[in-house]
Structure 1
């Protein structure tokens, strides 16, 4: 009975969080991120203002609600790479799979959402910060996976290059989306361009952090 009660409580929390997120997104798209207040979001979701801030510590997180998955994505792909697979190969494979799935975390968020982010100085600043956090998380995993010493700059340098590649590709998805290209067109273009981007890194990083067979 305790487990059932706990499960119901957690389910209710997930439903409330999703409701708040959905109402926030609706208002942001209709009114713009900067002009929408937490109080308005709470009213639309029929919850207290404090409930909104309990679930979302920052207003930006209401819009960029996949931020945790975004930050952890590159590190997770490397940590979960197959035997004999390098960090670069794992990230290439994961990115192309995300493009195939039209994953919102990779940037496939639709024209209205992309425009809302592009028009908000607060969200564009937050997005840059999330890219930086993602790069830092990747550097930590690379250091752990290669057994690098604390003063070894290599994992940070590699993470900077891999992070920059993903940042460019993310921005490219947004750019093409805002230009009016549909998702299938965007996916086709970015898949070709991703091959070029990752091929440029291959000579330097093709064998780096290869998992033991």
Structure 2
């Protein structure tokens, strides 16, 4: 059984991620090196890579948290209640304006940084594929997992577009919620029912 990271390790990881996010937002992901992030965070490059195996993971540091939320939501849930559990989770994330929902303060800088970096966009696609596999393992249904995660990613991308277009918070949140409602109608009743 793996040991949990010491509190200091979690604090170091959070400090590195916060430092990196600020630097990437200010200077662009591709123009900031891991060595620069390490220096600004007061750690070595080795320490950065201990917490984040890839540079892209410094910025997309909440992807594992998202997968864990999906897995926890369906743990021990009967297969016929999986969609209800996932829907309750994502609507709660909207209500909380959780960072993993794309609706938290600072989302514009986050989405702009991704939009400006093909490297981050490629890594985001890899993370979506990983989330599909992990959720598929958790529910025992890879097709359902692929449809949910793909649909959720689609709603997320549309939210990013609205944020980058400068839509107001209320419009962005309403659109995000409507997208999720449409997704779950499609998953339960078929795509034709959601149009």
Q: In the aligned structure 2, how far is the partner of 1:100 from the partner of 1:50?
A: 38
SS of 2:30's equivalent? coil
Q: Which position in structure 2 is the counterpart of 1:156?
A: 142
Q: Which position in structure 2 is the counterpart of 1:73?
A: 69
Q: Which position in structure 1 is the counterpart of 2:52?
A: 56
Out of 173, 180, 185, the residue aligned to residue 194 of structure 1 is 180
Q: Which position in structure 2 is the counterpart of 1:124?
A: 121
Larger RCO: Structure 1 or Structure 2 (Cα < 8 Å, ≥ 6 residues apart)?
1
Q: In the aligned structure 2, how far is the partner of 1:141 from the partner of 1:54?
A: 27
Q: Which position in structure 2 is the counterpart of 1:208?
A: none
Indicate how the Cα distance of structure 1 residues 36 and 197 shifts in structure 2: closer, same or farther if over 3 A, else same.
Answer: same
- The answer as to whether partners of 1:117 and 1:124 remain within 8 angstroms in 2 is yes
Q: In the aligned structure 2, how far is the partner of 1:49 from the partner of 1:88?
A: 42
Q: Which position in structure 2 is the counterpart of 1:137?
A: 134
2:17 matches 1:31: no
Q: How many residues align?
A: 185
Q: In the aligned structure 1, how far is the partner of 2:147 from the partner of 2:45?
A: 41
1:182 shift after superposition? 3.4
Larger mean Cα displacement after TM superposition, 40-49 or 67-76: 67-76
- The answer as to whether partners of 2:71 and 2:138 remain within 8 angstroms in 1 is yes
Return the TM-score normalized by structure 2: 0.86
Deviations 1:146-192 (A, max 9, x none): xxxxxxxxx22222222222111111221111111233321112212
Q: In the aligned structure 2, how far is the partner of 1:188 from the partner of 1:80?
A: 31
Q: In the aligned structure 2, how far is the partner of 1:162 from the partner of 1:184?
A: 25
Q: In the aligned structure 2, how far is the partner of 1:73 from the partner of 1:134?
A: 11
- The answer as to whether partners of 2:79 and 2:139 remain within 8 angstroms in 1 is no
Deviations 1:106-137 (A, max 9, x none): 22351111100111111111111111111111
Q: In the aligned structure 1, how far is the partner of 2:40 from the partner of 2:86?
A: 40
- The answer as to whether partners of 1:108 and 1:174 remain within 8 angstroms in 2 is no
Q: Which position in structure 1 is the counterpart of 2:193?
A: none
Deviating 4+ runs (over 3 angstroms): none
Out of 107, 112, 124, the residue aligned to residue 109 of structure 2 is 112
> Tell me, which stretches of 5 or more residues in structure 2 are unaligned?
191-195
